[in-house]
């Protein structure tokens, strides 16, 4: 495990601060519709940028499309150093319908959704386009073929993947330059260790979603709270600091609709523990999950 903390990370052709923001929570309930308080959403996005965030992640399915519109309303025209990453390939299931959502990987759908994202985000080129999920009925090579053509047309700068296996990544890399992978990963859910190691080995960024559980995963909250208290931190800060410590390939993208939580999350970059201290926390988390 790496103990040093790099302040920046390369995501394809862009170099960004190694602490991003996931905009998913700036949507309506269960990621449907616009947020109830759009003025607050704008404030959160502005504050994130003020605090040094220059990588923001979204998807066309959040809303659907509403999340991209909120980002553009708040931040466009964008600062030159600001990278906006979006995704295509999942279809919002509708009100009160949590993921997993239907997946569509047909090339014509990818073409359509990229054009919509360009319009919604008010840009001529997507900084980072990510395949949201692999369609089991369409070869990933065929799906990515559409992204490659859009890249050749200047509408996509870099290509990434989400919700993928190692096999998916290896197949994708044979037809396209893949710069990032976004999978579920945090201190308690570490099934994606091989993917994290693959990304580190091959110079790809790894974007962990649900870095703190996201309310959808049962986390060992008591163990995390006790550990965080020992280091004068919150459980959320501990989870985010662990990701920064775990691998230089990891780019955390925590999301929140709260200005207070945003400020709290950003302070996790200052939390540094020794390898032995992290090992103790990891062991306690693993034991708690094993007993659950």
The residues annotated with a catalytic role in the active site are 62
Cα–Cα distance measured from residue 245 to residue 3, given in angstroms and rounded to the nearest whole number? 5
Encode burial over 12-26: b for 16+ CB neighbours within 10 A, e otherwise.
Answer: bebebbbbbbbbbbb
Cα–Cα distance measured from residue 127 to residue 77, given in angstroms and rounded to the nearest whole number? 14
Q: Which two tokens stand for residue 140?
A: 């990933």
Cα–Cα distance measured from residue 255 to residue 24, given in angstroms and rounded to the nearest whole number? 7
CA quadruple 289, 6, 3, 128: dihedral sign: positive
């Amino acid at each position: 495990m790496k103990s040093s903390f790099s302040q920046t990370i390369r995501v394809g052709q862009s170099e960004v601060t190694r602490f991003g923001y996931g905009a998913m929570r700036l949507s309506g309930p269960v990621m449907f519709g616009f947020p109830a308080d759009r003025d607050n959403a704008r404030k959160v996005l502005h504050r994130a940028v003020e605090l040094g965030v220059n990588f923001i992640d979204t998807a066309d399915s959040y809303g659907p499309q509403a999340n991209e519109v909120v980002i553009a309303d708040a931040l466009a025209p964008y600062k030159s150093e600001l990278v906006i990453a979006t995704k295509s390939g999942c279809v919002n299931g509708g009100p009160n319908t949590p993921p997993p959502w239907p997946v569509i990987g047909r090339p014509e759908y990818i073409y359509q959704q990229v054009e919509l994202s360009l319009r919604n985000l008010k840009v001529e080129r997507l900084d980072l386009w990510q395949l949201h999920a692999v369609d089991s009925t369409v070869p990933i090579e065929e799906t990515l073929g559409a992204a490659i053509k859009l890249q050749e047309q200047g509408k996509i700068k870099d290509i990434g993947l989400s919700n993928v296996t190692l096999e998916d990544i290896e197949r994708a890399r044979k037809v396209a330059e893949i710069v990032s992978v976004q999978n579920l990963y945090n201190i308690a859910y570490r099934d994606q260790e091989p993917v994290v190691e693959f990304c580190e080995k091959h110079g790809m960024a790894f974007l962990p979603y649900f870095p703190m559980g996201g309310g959808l995963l049962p986390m060992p909250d008591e163990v995390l709270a006790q550990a965080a208290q020992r280091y004068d931190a919150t459980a959320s800060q501990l989870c985010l600091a662990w990701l920064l410590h775990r691998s230089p390939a990891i780019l955390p993208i925590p999301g929140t609709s709260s200005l207070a939580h945003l400020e709290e999350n950003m302070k996790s970059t200052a939390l540094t523990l020794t390898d032995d201290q992290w090992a103790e926390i990891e062991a306690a988390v693993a034991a708690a999950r094993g007993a659950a």
